Structure 1
Amino acid sequence: MTAIVETAPAKINLALHVRRRRADGYHELETLFAFCRDGDTVTVALAEVDRLTLTGPFAAVLAGEAQEDNLVTRAARRFCERFGVAGGHAITLDKHLPVASGIGGGSADAAATLRALARLHGVALDHADLFSLAADLGADVPACLLGRTARGEGKGDALQPLPPLGEVPVLLVNPGVAVSTAAVFGRWDGVDRGPLGEGAAMDVAATGRNDLEPPARALARQIDDVLALLQAAPGVELARMSGSGATCFAIFASTHARDAAALAARTQGWWELPTFLR
């Protein structure tokens, strides 16, 4: 069989409300997941032995990591264990999303690996065991496996699919800093500022917030500069930090306005990705 290629699209949290800390160490969340057209790419093919190849502009960031610690490798190993698959796989991860940046890069890569392996071995993409396996790999992996606009509750893995948002112009910007998710959650002040609203996704997003934004901004002051640029950009409809940061996003009324803001971000030396919500 030929190689299976899967996109691992960037994830953004249109809103992210932290309600409380749970006894299991996770936090009770209410969030709106949306996914971009672009991201990383995972290619999987049968092989005599397992191997992982890293390519792309952010491959070097992961190069020093032990392969068994990479989420892609862990996803492949867990898939084979769960579904009784013998033999090896050659996996190539083409890494274009910055690492530890709040847009689900590692989770999206793991989810893309699961989808590719499922297609390769005839497992239904909506198989319950596939989503159970995803939840074991990380709180964001089930949403990335679903890969569509959804409301997330619990750890973020209790998912309610929502209608597609359409081709909405969006810009992702990262100032070139990695922020530890654990450190950001550790600095959350513990105040429950209320639930996520109800209704159409973009209306809920507009009235929502990201409760992790203040602690992330305290850890990485560069986020202030990114948000200031995006919020002041002509044609912006919503600008916010995604996840635990440091990547921020802005939704625009037109591709022209988005591309002008992307150019402004580029002149600052920041990573930027002009794309569309899908």
Structure 2
Amino acid sequence: MILTELARAKVNLALHVVGRRADGYHLLDTLVAFPPIGDRVGVAPANAYALAVTGPGAAALGDTAPADNLVTRAAVGLAALAGRADVPVAITLEKHLPVAAGLGGGSADAAATLRLLCRLWSMDPADAAVRDLAGRLGADVPMCLASRPLRAAGVGEVVTPIASLPALGILLVNPGVAVPTPAVFRALDRRDNPPLPETIPSDADALLAMLAEARNDLEAPAIRVAPVVADVLAALRDCAGARLARMSGSGATCFALFDHEGAARAAATAVAAAHPSWWARSAALGGDGGSPPA
């Protein structure tokens, strides 16, 4: 029996840095979506643990030992919760998302591993112990475990699901430059920004208007760290039909929102033609394109 799942990219539609804890971790207020773009994780029972990394992005993880991969750490941690002395599964990670790209790729892979192993071992991914494990694996893992439209606070561990997002199209573009998150946070000018509005609109035009007034507080410092981010944003804003363009997470991936998936797909074709070295993917966002994993 082989179980597989799409580990969806985490896209911060807006990200406000609202404070900083005594231990140095930053407090966030962020609106997050999970379009059907991501890596593919598969698990199957085996005599001993094994991790195979394949796909077009596998080379980017070539220097990461299997024991250090978040997928392995998720599997080992969940096995301990289940009272298992070993981890008798073979896991395949088919890597498609760029690494260190502001899309939570490693966190999404770990979260998909947790969900799949919960299915295999008859555990509940919504159990408090599983959610606590997700938080210990990384700040983005709890929201990626939910993998549905949500608002996240704290350092990312306080997750509030949103009923739905309106149907839109989304284009993700990464210029192939890894941006280290610590460097971006160090370049922040202000760490006590106001939060997002209390209410998240469900209407497309109202949501886009709210997002236009919101921000990604990490965008300006990321541009100082990696100026190519500004080039990506300029290219997205030039796309026909683009309603909003912004950086996701700590960069360098940026996104543009469109009225429908077809416009996003046409924009992806245009960006890929103009910048063949850039990674560009389009999808539906909201509606059926925002459904959580089965």
Question: Given the two structures, how large is their TM-score scaled by the length of structure 2?
Answer: 0.91
Q: Which residue of 2 aligns with 1:18?
A: 17
Give 1:9's aligned residue. Answer: 8
Tell which deviates more after alignment, 229-238 or 149-158. Answer: 229-238
Deviation at 1:166?
4.4
Give the residue type in structure 1 aligned to 2:253.
T
State the Cα distance separating 1:229 from its structure 2 match.
1.1
Distance 1:272 1:107 in 2: 20
Does structure 1 residue 117 correspond to structure 2 residue 123?
A: no
> What CA distance in whole angstroms lies between the structure 2 residues aligned with 1:70 and 1:204?
37
8 Å Cα contact 1:198/1:204 also seen in 2: no
The 1-side partners of 2:174 and 2:148 are apart by 23
Looking at structure 2, the residues matched to 241 and 234 of structure 1 have their Cα atoms a distance apart, in angstroms, of 18
Post-superposition offset of 1:194: 1.3
- Displacement after TM superposition at 1:133 (Å): 0.5
Distance 1:140 1:212 in 2: 16
User: What SS does the aligned partner of 1:234 have?
Assistant: coil
Tell me the residue number matched to 1:271.
279
Greater displacement, 246-255 / 99-108: 246-255
Gaps of 5+ in 2: 202-206
User: Which structure 2 residues correspond to residues 9-48 of structure 1 after superposition, within 5 A?
Assistant: 9-48=8-47
Which position in structure 1 is the counterpart of 2:224? 218
The one-letter code sitting in structure 2 at the alignment partner of 1:276 is A
Letter in 1 for 2:28: L
Name the amino acid aligned to 1:273. R
The separation in 1 between residues aligned to 2:261 and 2:168, in whole angstroms, is 9
What is the letter of the counterpart of residue 251 of structure 1?
A: L
Is 1:262 matched up with 2:268? yes
User: Does the aligned pair in 2 maintain the 1:35–1:147 contact within 8 Å?
Assistant: yes
Which has more strand, going by share of residues? Answer: 1
- State the superposition RMSD in angstroms: 1.3
Alignment match, 2:143: 143
Tell me how far 1:223 sits from its aligned partner: 0.7
Q: Secondary structure at the match of 2:36?
A: strand
Cα distance, 1:77 vs structure 2:
0.7
Match of 1:58 in 2: 57
Aligned to 1:129: 129
Tell me the CA shift for residue 221 of structure 1: 1.0
Describe the superposition over 1:138-194 as per-residue Cα deviations: whole angstroms up to 9, x where unpaired.
111000001111111100110111121144210000011010011111111134231
Quick one: distance in 1 between partners of 2:74 and 2:280? 28
Supply the distance in 1 between the matched residues of 2:42 and 2:266 (Cα, whole angstroms): 33
- Runs of 4+ residues deviating >6 angstroms: none
Does residue 247 in structure 1 map to residue 253 in structure 2?
yes
Q: Is the contact between residue 15 and residue 215 of structure 2 (CA under 8 Å) also seen in structure 1?
A: yes
Question: In structure 2, how many angstroms separate the alpha carbons of the residues matched to 1:206 and 1:276?
Answer: 20
Q: What is the distance in 2 between the residues matched to 1:139 and 1:125?
A: 17
SS in 1 for 2:243: strand
Three-state SS of the structure 2 residue aligned to 1:60 is helix
Shift of 1:85: 2.4
1:78 & 1:276 partners in 2: Cα distance? Answer: 33
Secondary structure, counterpart of 1:73 in structure 2: helix
TM-score by length of 1: 0.96
Runs of 5+ consecutive residues of structure 1 not aligned to the other structure:
none
- The answer (yes or no) to whether the contact 2:19–2:193 under 8 Å persists in 1 is no
Aligned length: 277
Q: Are the counterparts in 2 of residues 54 and 92 from structure 1 also a CA contact under 8 Å?
A: yes
1:237, CA displacement in angstroms? Answer: 1.5
